[in-house]
Amino acid sequence: MTNDELWQAVLAQVQFNVSRANFATWFRNTEILSKDKGEVLISVENSFSKEWLGNKYALLILKILRSLDKETKAIEFKVAPKKASGVSAVKETTRGEEEKEREEGPQLPFQEFTLDIKTNLNPRYTFDNFVVGGFNELAHAAAQAVSENPGLAYNPLFIYGGVGLGKTHLLQATGNRIIELSPKKKIKYAPSERFLSSIVEAIRNHNIGELKKSFREVDILIIDDIQFFAGKEKSQEEFFHIFNFLYQAQKQIILSSDRPPKAIPSLEQRLRSRFEGGMIADIGVPDFETRLAILKAKCEEKNIELDPKVMEYIVSAVKNNIREIEGALNRLIVFQKINNKAPNPEVAKKLLESLITGPKRMTNFRKIVQTVSNLYDLTEKDLLSTARRKEIVKPRQIAMYLLREELKESYPTIGRRFGGKDHTTVIYAWEKIARELKSNDNLLTELDLIRQRLYSEF
């Protein structure tokens, strides 16, 4: 049997085990490149397919191969793109990069970042990839000054602005820069929800003293989205003491919120005046040119070239939220990775419709359940069951997340749909996926893939 015949036989069997959409997406243009001492090298179109096949189908392929050829011991995937017909979407690379690419396959536009356990900072957020314009100039300058002179420039630094406009990015970039300049400094970054729940837990377990001590040891304390302090009196009080301690020791405190201190309801007066005692800088909304500049920077970062018309379409449709501009871009990248060609303006418009016009677009419970079970090769029955197997739990959490995000269903309703699960389980699932999406770009890609299948026919 030639390698070709062997692979055709494998594919014939794979087809029985995976959904049609998955077969078309992941197995198209695969082949056996070589077979040596039982090691089979399989070529795939791009690094995203490589990852997906490796994670999800390696075992299946290995099993089938073994049943056809007893010698088979291991399989490996290699990115060996077929010479693309039509326009190549990937940017021209320099010679050195080209060689590297041939060896390692094209770089994934999505990179995986790991959060630093000690600081909780995400290294993806830097000043280098932060675009500055009139809308965020002041906040940026203040953050830079603080990163160069922590504790001395402005204390506290309080940054406020709307959702998706770069507060978290700026806070984390400041933290990352401080570490870069002085690696010995102790930094702690905490979203306020996490900060608040650790206080509540400490009070419950009677070790608030210890918790406070751990906060007092830091040189830089960064708390994100402190509007959630509103109404949490006991926690505000504990925070007040931590704040004062650090402040008096000239340790830097950096805070963010979606509104200025005076607009946070039931924020204790003494905390408010502490916040107002430092530097308050707001982030506004970027204008058209700046949005375009941001999008261009993101394209460069992800090494993708978009039709200028497509770029203009994106930034004229998405006005108030940089995260959504990124979401639009990511969706186009997924299209490109899977189809090996850049979307033209028409396709782009179709792909982005649901993002841009909001969740009014047609999808429903059935479609979500179908699409999710399809992508992960599960039966709908499994997905809706209460089975706890690992390969089902994650897709189920994703389905719950989507029902909430796309259909705005209530948590109890979603719980009932999944065999009568408690609403707290649904909330847990939603939070888990939402949190993971912030650091795991592969999951982001998977969700985009699902959304594409939900909203378009290809």
Interface ranges with ligand ADP (CB under 6 A): 129-131, 136, 161, 163-169, 294, 322-323, 326
* Shortest spacing between CB 229 and Mg ion, in angstroms: 15
Q: Which of 259, 228, 229 is nearest to 160 (CA)?
A: 259
Cα–Cα distance between 430 and 402 in angstroms, integer? 9
Buried b (16+ CB within 10 A) or exposed e, 65-96: beeeeeebeebebebbbeeeeeeebbeeeeee
Residue closer to ligand ADP (CB basis): 131 or 342: 131
Cα–Cα distance between 151 and 186 in angstroms, integer? 13
Do 136 and 283 form a contact (C-beta atoms < 8 A)?
yes
Residue closer to ligand ADP (CB basis): 164 or 345: 164
Residue closer to ligand ADP (CB basis): 53 or 294: 294
* Shortest spacing between CB 165 and ligand ADP, in angstroms: 5
The angle, 0 to 180 degrees and rounded to 10, between the axes of the packed helices 208-216 and 192-204 is 140
* Shortest spacing between CB 136 and ligand ADP, in angstroms: 6
Closest-approach residue to ligand ADP (CB) = 166
Which of ligand ADP, Mg ion, none binds 446 (CB below 5-8 Å, type-dependent)?
none
Which of Mg ion, ligand ADP, none binds 130 (CB below 5-8 Å, type-dependent)?
ligand ADP
Do 41 and 76 form a contact (C-beta atoms < 8 A)?
yes
Q: Which of 398, 324, 380 is nearest to 354 (CA)?
A: 324
* Shortest spacing between CB 286 and ligand ADP, in angstroms: 7
Cα–Cα distance between 237 and 231 in angstroms, integer? 11
Which pair of tokens denotes residue 187?
């930094």
* Shortest spacing between CB 167 and Mg ion, in angstroms: 5
Binding site for Mg ion (CB under 5 A): 167-168
Residue closer to ligand ADP (CB basis): 169 or 251: 169
Which of ligand ADP, Mg ion, none binds 123 (CB below 5-8 Å, type-dependent)?
none
Which phi and psi angles does 393 have, rounded to 5°?
A: -60, -45
Residue closer to ligand ADP (CB basis): 165 or 414: 165
Cα–Cα distance between 321 and 140 in angstroms, integer? 17
Residue closer to Mg ion (CB basis): 136 or 168: 168
Closest-approach residue to Mg ion (CB) = 168
* Shortest spacing between CB 281 and ligand ADP, in angstroms: 13
* Shortest spacing between CB 432 and Mg ion, in angstroms: 18
Residue closer to ligand ADP (CB basis): 131 or 222: 131
